[in-house]
Amino acid sequence: MFKVTREIHFCYGHRLMNYSGKCRHPHGHNGRVEVEVTSKKLDKRGMVVDFGDIKTRLQSWIDDHLDHQMILRKDDPLVPVLKKMGEPIYLMQDNPTAENIAREIFRAAKARGLSVTRVTLWETDKSWASYAP
């Protein structure tokens, strides 16, 4: 099995609902995503996928949907307030934990035709979460 990984950086804010720690308050992260793409065979160029293709397909989605957005659960009471203010938000069905954001990025990569097998989101230099089905 061949594997390639592309790293993508983005900034985002979030807060967690039903959580008693500090992360229940709005705060931000300088996130780093590692997107692993695999294939049993290489293409005619000798590649799993060109790194630039990962950037073109997925980084543009991250830039448009997650970068400099407040990522919130769709029923968060802040949603109507931020919408009224015209602030950029990205809404999720689930709590915007690192685990759920990694899964969201995985789904976006799959939807863009990448044979992604794992997505890891680094919230900080010492804390990360991965999603692989």
Catalytic site residues? 23, 68, 123
Residue with tokens 């989101």: 121
Cα 18 to Cα 108: distance, rounded to the nearest angstrom? 26
- Are 121 and 98 in contact, with CB atoms under 8 Å apart? yes
Q: Which residues of 23-37 are buried (b: 16+ CB within 10 A; e: fewer)?
A: eeeeeebebbbbbbb
- Rounded to the nearest 5°, which phi and psi values hold at 91? -100, 140
